[in-house]
């Protein structure tokens, strides 16, 4: 790698075992001490030594011929076939979700082989769900020299078959306020302290003209039949202040704990989608350019209702 990549940089393990590294700086007119720009709006791809022979030529790589596409919560073994009968080791690498080099959620899980029959391997799967967490993984086979195969993608399923493990990133757009986007404001509101939020001041919510900035995007993370809604710039989650069940209670953003007043169900389609708080059965609504919960305007499906929203179509019911 030829460029220093620090703040605002990302590094990802690619499916073929190489490493993608991009970004760095991206902070206005940032300069290095030698007067050169510290901004790097580009990327490089590293070919690690384990993919090369001593003379620099590509190393011989194993090939995975067959592997499962999914691993269920009750599965204890999987069968994987490679292209030779030589001994191979195997590992699962969970794909990361990177922002500012934090919350990568990346992990490597070595798999223990219990039997081998020619080129077919029977591999044991960890039974601890805190190790084998749901998500998308790369399965790599390594030969005796430690050279990896090109990975196969495997989905590790949740114990709750109703859970869709793929989060959806979406703007939350109101039709009643001329298509403004929900965002977290820089002002705070006072709420009743809880185990999740011991500090009584959380971010208030507002709206502004939609942009491509992270503050206007929310990640809808499945939790059972509901969603945890995480704001893009702060990582905080949409919730009803103090867990109130009152009509008109403020909707704010704070630490994510999966308490009922932090989980939302989605219904409807198009510009008449509803976001209903799990604990109260009330809907997210616009009130004086802020956000509150209120009794849902159900049945008519009017686009101009103050609790109707336009979201990514993948969230449609």
Q: Tell me the pLDDT tens digit for each residue of 93-110.
A: 998 766 655 656 778 999
- The verdict on 202 and 69 lying in the same domain is no
- The verdict on 272 and 184 lying in the same domain is yes
Task: Confirm whether 205 is domain-assigned.
Answer: yes
Task: Confirm whether 234 is domain-assigned.
Answer: yes
Q: Cα dist. 252→92, 220, 233, 241 in Å? A: 38, 16, 15, 6
Q: Which CATH number belongs to the domain containing residue 172 in this structure?
A: 2.80.10.50
* Low-confidence residues of the chain: pLDDT under 70: 1, 97-104, 114, 160-165, 186-201, 289, 298-304, 317
Which residues span the domain enclosing 132? 64-156
What is the pTM for the complete model shown? 0.50
Task: Confirm whether 2 is domain-assigned.
Answer: no
- The verdict on 174 and 310 lying in the same domain is yes
Q: Cα dist. 269→158, 183, 299, 313 in Å? A: 26, 21, 13, 7
The region that residue 77 occupies, defined by phi over 0 for left and psi between -120 and 50 for alpha, beta otherwise, is: beta
Dist CA 233 CA 216 (whole Å): 8
- The verdict on 172 and 311 lying in the same domain is yes
Burial of 101 (0-12, 13-18, 19+ CB in 10 A): middle
Dist CA 70 CA 204 (whole Å): 41
Dist CA 140 CA 91 (whole Å): 5
Dist CA 205 CA 250 (whole Å): 9
pLDDT of residue 37: 80
- The verdict on 222 and 136 lying in the same domain is no
Dist CA 208 CA 222 (whole Å): 26
- The verdict on 75 and 137 lying in the same domain is yes
Task: Confirm whether 235 is domain-assigned.
Answer: yes
How many structural domains does the chain have?
3
Q: Which CATH number belongs to the domain containing residue 100 in this structure?
A: 2.60.40.10
Question: How many Cα atoms occupy the beta-carbon half-sphere of 278 within 13 Å?
Answer: 17
Task: Confirm whether 236 is domain-assigned.
Answer: yes
pLDDT of residue 88: 95
pLDDT of residue 259: 86
Residue ending a domain, among 100, 135, 156, is 156
- The verdict on 174 and 293 lying in the same domain is yes
pLDDT of residue 189: 56
- The verdict on 147 and 203 lying in the same domain is no
Dist CA 47 CA 129 (whole Å): 33
């Amino acid at each position: 790698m030829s460029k220093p990549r620090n703040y605002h940089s990302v590094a990802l393990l690619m499916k073929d075992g190489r490493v993608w590294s991009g970004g760095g700086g991206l902070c206005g007119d940032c300069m290095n001490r030698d007067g050169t720009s510290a901004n790097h709006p580009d990327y490089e791809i590293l070919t690690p030594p384990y993919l090369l022979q001593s003379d620099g030529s590509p190393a011989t790589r194993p090939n995975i011929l067959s592997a499962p596409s999914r691993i269920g919560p009750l599965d204890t073994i999987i069968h994987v076939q490679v292209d030779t009968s030589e001994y191979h080791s195997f590992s699962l690498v969970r794909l990361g979700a990177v922002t500012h080099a934090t919350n990568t959620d990346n992990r490597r899980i070595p798999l223990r082989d219990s039997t081998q029959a020619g080129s077919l391997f029977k591999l044991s799967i960890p039974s601890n769900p805190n190790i084998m967490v749901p998500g998308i993984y790369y399965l790599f086979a390594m030969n005796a020299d430690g050279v990896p195969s090109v990975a196969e993608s495997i989905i590790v399923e949740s114990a709750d078959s109703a859970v869709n493990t793929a989060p959806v990133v979406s703007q939350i757009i109101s039709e009643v306020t001329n298509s403004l986007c929900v965002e977290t404001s820089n002002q705070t509101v006072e709420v009743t302290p809880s185990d999740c939020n011991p500090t009584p001041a959380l971010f208030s919510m507002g709206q502004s003209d939609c942009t491509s900035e992270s503050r206007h995007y929310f990640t809808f993370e499945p939790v059972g039949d509901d969603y945890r809604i995480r704001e893009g710039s702060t990582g905080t989650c949409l919730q009803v202040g103090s867990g109130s069940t009152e009509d008109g209670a403020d909707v704010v953003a704070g630490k994510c704990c999966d308490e009922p007043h932090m989980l939302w169900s989605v219904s409807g389609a198009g510009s008449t989608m509803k976001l209903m708080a799990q604990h109260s059965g009330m809907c997210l609504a616009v009130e004086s350019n802020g956000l509150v919960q209120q009794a849902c305007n159900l049945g008519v499906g009017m686009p101009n209702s103050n609790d109707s929203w336009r979201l990514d179509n993948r969230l449609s019911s």
